Homo-oligomer: A and B are copies of this chain.
Amino acid sequence: MAEIASLGDAIGDLVPDGATVAMEGFTHLIPFAAGHEMIRQGKKDLTLARMTPDVIYDQMIGMGCARKLVFSWGGNPGVGSLHRFRDAVENGYPHPLEIEEHSHAGMASRYAAGASGLPFGVLRGYAGTDLVEHTRVAAISCPFTGEDLVAVPSLNPDVTVIHAQQADRRGNVGMWGITGVQREAVLAATTSIVTVEEVVDELSANGPNHVVLPSWTVTAVAPVPGGSHPSYSMGFSTRDNAFYTRWDGISRDRESFARWMTEFVMGTPDHASYLARIAEEHD
C-alpha cells in the first residue's frame, strides 16, 4: 500500500545518492517539484533516466546532481537546446557527464521489458545507425524465421518518480491524457514516488486514456498541487510555454542559470513558495 507522505520526506527517505532514478512524463505531467526537491536536498551521483531530459534534467545536471544520463531526446521542446546538458557533455561542466543514449522506441521497449519482468526487449530499430556502436543494443534473430532484429536491455530504475492528477485516500493513482511511459517506468522500478495534484475519495476519469496504478504498486504518494510546472497537468494547468522559451536565455550562461536556481529553487523552501515566486515574477 502506498504511504501518503510529504514530498520532502519521500525524496529524503527513498532517493539515496548514487541511485538510478527515472523521472518520466512525456512533455505532460513532468514531476518538476520532485526534481527541485532533489536539488534542494543536494542529491548527487545520480544516474538519471528519462526519454526526454527536458528542462527538469537540464536543471538537475546544471546543479551537479547527475553522474550519468540515460535518454533518447535531449532538447528543449519547441525551443531548441538544453544548454546545461550541452555544457556538461561538450565542456564537462559542472563535472563530466556520462551518457547512454537510445531512440525513443528503444527506451520505451526497455521500460516495457522491465515492467514485464523480462531481461530484454526486441524491436525493429537502430539498424544502419551509428547508435549501434555507441549504446547498449545486441543483435537477436528470430528462432522461427531467422530474421535479424535488435534487443535492448530492460531498464529497471531503483526509483521512478512521476506526477499524476489524482490519488485516492488508499493511495491508488489516476492519470489521463498523454501518459507516456510512466506506467511502465513505475512498474519497472524497485521504488516509486508519485506526486499528485489532488487526493480524492474516488478516482475519476476526466480525460482520455485513463490510467490507474493500484496503491500496492506505488511506494509513496505526495500531494503537490502544480507539481508539474512549467510542464502541465491536463485538467489542472496548461503548459507554461513562455517559461520554456525564457529558459533558453536563463540557462544559456552559467551565471544566469546559477542565479535563477538560487532564487527560485534553492531560495524557496517548497514547491508552493516556488510557484508563488514564479507568479510574482509574472506581475
Which residues of chain A have a CB within 8 Å of any CB of chain B? 117-120, 122-124, 136, 138-140, 142-145, 147, 149, 151, 153, 205, 210
Contact = CB atoms under 8 A, between A and B. Distances in A.
Nearest to A113: B122
Given A122-B122, A124-B117, A124-B118, A144 B153 contact: yes
The 8 closest A-B CB pairs, nearest first, are A138-B143, A119-B142, A144-B153, A119-B145, A120-B142, A143-B151, A119-B147, A140-B143
Contacts of A153: 144
Contacts of A119: 142, 144-145, 147, 149
A56 to B, nearest CB: 29
A203 B136 CA distance: 43
A139 B149 contact: no
Contacts of A117: 124
Chain A at the B interface: SS class? loop
20 contacts: A117-B124, A118-B122, A118-B124, A118-B149, A119-B142, A119-B145, A119-B149, A120-B122, A120-B142, A120-B143, A120-B144, A120-B145, A138-B144, A139-B143, A140-B140, A140-B143, A142-B151, A143-B151, A144-B151, A205-B205
A153 to B, nearest CB: 5
Contacts of A205: 205
Contacts of A144: 119-120, 136, 138, 151, 153
Contacts of A142: 119-120, 151
A277 B142 CA distance: 50
A138 B140 CA distance: 14
A149 B151 CA distance: 14
A203 to B, nearest CB: 11
A183 to B, nearest CB: 14
Contacts of A143: 120, 138-140, 151
Nearest to A150: B143
A154 to B, nearest CB: 8
A139 to B, nearest CB: 7
Counting chain B CB atoms within 10 Å of each CB, the highest count among A138, A143, A149 belongs to A143
A139 B153 CA distance: 18
A111 to B, nearest CB: 15
A238 to B, nearest CB: 24
Contacts of A210: 210
Q: Considering residues A118, A119, A153, which has the most beta carbons from chain B within 10 angstroms of its beta carbon?
A: A119
